[in-house]
A and B are shown apart, each in its own frame.
Chain A
């Protein structure tokens, strides 16, 4: 680990088809160290499929994928094991005597340090998703793969989660690939935004806005308009 590559994640010429339907057709992208890249695309554009391939959950795809071994995944649903208490869910796959301490520390970071003994079924949607973030963070990954992690939450909770992610990234410096259909979310969180279209990356823009960002920032609405146009939602 002495010589870390310049990029955390490299994907080139990715191909994937379900039967006759080609989902990915030569998609290539990189995510640099500590960089947050948003992957935008319409519904069914294959962005979630791409992330599944990166997470090693889809074996038969063509192309080359170079993912660091220490990555964490957060899905749209929290996917916590209902038969394990919250702290045990976070500690899943951890080794060593300090596993529980580390799990509780990760829970504290997402503001749930006192809920370690609760069952997942006793949590609200936002709390459960925060536990899922803690479960991904506890391994101190160099890369987070986020598959519409806040898509199932209400608008207020989503805003809080976006701020939480921003804080955590500033503290831990992980790189992230954020799959989303929310242009605002991409512009708030990402250093770069990619648009997936017809199975390949059709557009790439850097987001030069200073952090912390806000929807009212100058330049935000111009980028927003541009991305929405690219996603097939023209101004009326």
Chain B
């Protein structure tokens, strides 16, 4: 009988150990890829003017960060992204709410938005240059346009998907329109809003990459375009890495916010 008891006692400590091992194994393949890349660059299999070694990219990053260049460009890019996202995002939420909640809003706002959605917004660059010039306005407009559509459609769908029976029940509790919005509509649409925000941030970064390659004087995109002219491949790859990291960080941030705000969904999963 002792043989059956012993494994049952030993079982609990093995569970966390297995979990950490699993997380660690997920790092193996990216690391192997990096090592292979490094080796291929060092041995000359990859020509250095086409693809620099990862160590060289890291070194360049360190050098540019040390002399403050990187911070300036990064801050400029971030500012553009935030302003663009702020304008496009708030416009999207307000218009989507109006379209989803009011019949007149649905009739007037939704058709033109649906039509505009069919335009690839990055194809608007020539027209935007004519309208707003090639300065900051162009970059911000592009980010705003890029982030508008995913947030608009997800907010609209999120509000429309709210169970009508919940709205009715809340009304019988004596809630007025404003309270309905606050206690039922907003929390009900929040999961979709977060999804929209994540997609909007992705689209915003993409728009910024394109926008910063049009006559910018600062920003990560400018850094890359300038480096291309001098064939500094390491700086170009560094720019790509930074764009990727920015996307990753913003996604992690939103997911953290989502987890904090949507605790009731965790309760749902826990049962």
Binding site for B on A (CB under 8 A): 55-57, 71-73, 75, 77, 79-85, 92-93, 118-119, 121-122, 135, 139
Contacts and interface: CB of A to CB of B under 8 A. Distances in A.
Interface in B209-244: none
Contacts of B166: 79, 81
B271 A121 contact: yes
B19 interface: no
Contacts of B187: 81, 83-84
A92 B171 contact: no
Contacts of A71: 172
Q: Of B165, B166, B169, B175, which is in contact with the most chain A CB atoms at under 10 Å from its CB?
A: B169
Interface of B: 165-166, 168-175, 179, 183-184, 187-188, 190, 262, 264, 267-268, 270-271
Nearest to A119: B267
B252 to A, nearest CB: 23
Contact of B169 (A79, A121, A122): A79
Contacts of B183: 81, 84, 92
Nearest to B172: A73
Contacts, number: 60
B234 to A, nearest CB: 49
A39 to B, nearest CB: 18
B186 to A, nearest CB: 9
A135 B165 contact: no
Nearest to A118: B267
7 contacts: A56-B171, A82-B268, A84-B183, A84-B187, A93-B179, A119-B264, A119-B268
Given A57-B168, A73-B169, A81 B175 contact: no
Given A57-B172, A83-B262, 16 more contacts: A55-B172, A71-B172, A72-B172, A75-B169, A77-B165, A79-B169, A80-B169, A81-B166, A83-B187, A83-B190, A84-B187, A92-B183, A93-B173, A93-B179, A119-B268, A135-B173
Q: Of A72, A79, A81, which is in contact with the most chain B CB atoms at under 10 Å from its CB?
A: A81
B174 to A, nearest CB: 4
A88 to B, nearest CB: 9
A-B pairs, 8 with minimum CB distance: A119-B267, A79-B169, A93-B173, A73-B172, A83-B187, A93-B174, A121-B268, A83-B264
A71 B187 CA distance: 26
A81 B170 contact: yes
Contacts of A83: 187-188, 190, 262, 264
Given A81-B187, A135-B173, A122 B165 contact: no
Contacts of A139: 173-174
Nearest to B179: A93
Contacts of B172: 55-57, 71-73
A84 B166 CA distance: 12
Nearest to A78: B169
Q: Of A77, A119, A135, which is in contact with the most chain B CB atoms at under 10 Å from its CB?
A: A119
A176 to B, nearest CB: 15
A92 B175 contact: yes
A93 B187 CA distance: 16
A55 B188 CA distance: 23
A83 B187 CA distance: 7
A70 to B, nearest CB: 9
Contacts of A121: 264, 267-268, 271
A133 to B, nearest CB: 13
Contacts of B169: 73, 75, 79-80
A87 B188 CA distance: 18
A225 B187 CA distance: 49
A3 B267 CA distance: 48
B165 A81 contact: no
